[in-house]
Amino acid sequence: LANKSILSQGEPRLLAFFIPHARPARRGVAPPTPADCLPRRQSSGCFGWARLASARFGCVRLSAAGVGHGLGRAAGCGRAPGARRPLGALRRRRAAVQGLDAAVSLNQFSDLTFAEFKKLFLWREPQNCSATKGNFLRSSGPSPDSIDWRKKGNFVTPVKNQGPCGSCWTFSTTGCLESAIAIATGKLLSLAEQQLVDCAQAFNNHGCSGGLPSQAFEYILYNKGLMGEDTYPYRAENGTCKFQPEKAIAFVKDVINITQYDEDGMVEAVGKHNPVSFAFEVTSNFMHYRKGVYSNPRCEHTPDKVNHAVLAVGYGEENGTPYWIVKNSWGPLWGMEGYFLIERGKNMCGLAACASYPVPQV
């Protein structure tokens, strides 16, 4: 079912949402249940595209590139009697997106309330970024006017998909370390988010309930390594730690925390070193982002309000508005093929409250 591009990063591993054009199973034929699909119980029921009126899908497929395929209609999936219709849901949210410069559209989250969305995809345990002490030393000389690490070489892994688990912090962490190693060595690895979900609790992380990249980098530093995704596959759920030190393929020798609210420091770090992990506050209008520079005058800017971790892979300017280029972990069907732009220079939604990156041991 998966094409070659989907499997280019290895065996199917990562939770993916449904493509809304998959063929339904033939009448009278039971839908298949491949081993790399999460059952309905494990995937929190039908959500996203599976709840749209036009969707007839079964299980949730796991894939390395974060792209899913519907596999027939399973019991309880599709639009149940009385279920919300997507256009009605979008109209109900129209007030929340008025005044945004960025474009919004119907997507896999449009039939969820924000309360449902938060429960499935954002942190539930509060994280206080003020505990992260800045140790980034600014250098002399200007930073580049713009940069996009995706275009400078094979330095950024494909967009992944965290699924219904508040594990965004693990994807921000692995994405940053993957890029830092690739920039230093020329070798692009795919690292194990599930190891962080299962094993990093001693560093004030909480698996599917949230965590911080800075704390995850500390875990990798003191735990002596991170395994690859192929040997520790992602399952989008809390599990028992199965770390095997002899299989670790990525190591950290230092953790760099950018001084709180120093967005110019973030620019220098991304422009002169490598992508940077950061956290910010997601509000209801961000669910429906499609393209453009996101700016939200209603979100909070303090470290105690952030609820989602992502990866800054570059920055630039559009029509006089400076922005960050950001890699998300909601799959390539969301936003700009899994990426978004957010206004730069205003600590938008607290994005400069807790930025960090690792120094890889290579």
With 0-12 / 13-18 / 19 or more C-beta atoms within 10 angstroms meaning exposed / middle / buried, residue 114 is middle
DSSP helix/strand/coil, 38: strand
- Strand pairing of 339-343 and 248-250? unpaired
User: How many Cα neighbours within 13 Å face the side chain of 233?
Assistant: 15
Name the active-site residue from 168, 199, 208, 299. 168
Which token pair is 145?
């006017």
Q: How far apart are alpha carbons 72 and 27 in whole angstroms?
A: 10
301 is catalytic: no
308 is catalytic: yes
Residue 98 CA, chain-centre distance (Å), reads 25
Residue type, 95: A
Q: How far apart are alpha carbons 66 and 62 in whole angstroms?
A: 7
Q: How far is CA 344 from CA 126, 282, 296, in A?
A: 25, 16, 12
Name the active-site residue from 308, 347, 349, 354. 308
Residues 77, 56 contacting (CB under 8 angstroms): yes
Residues 181, 250 contacting (CB under 8 angstroms): yes
Length of the chain: 362
- Strand pairing of 289-291 and 147-148? unpaired
Q: How far apart are alpha carbons 84 and 101 in whole angstroms?
A: 27
List the catalytic residues.
168, 308, 328
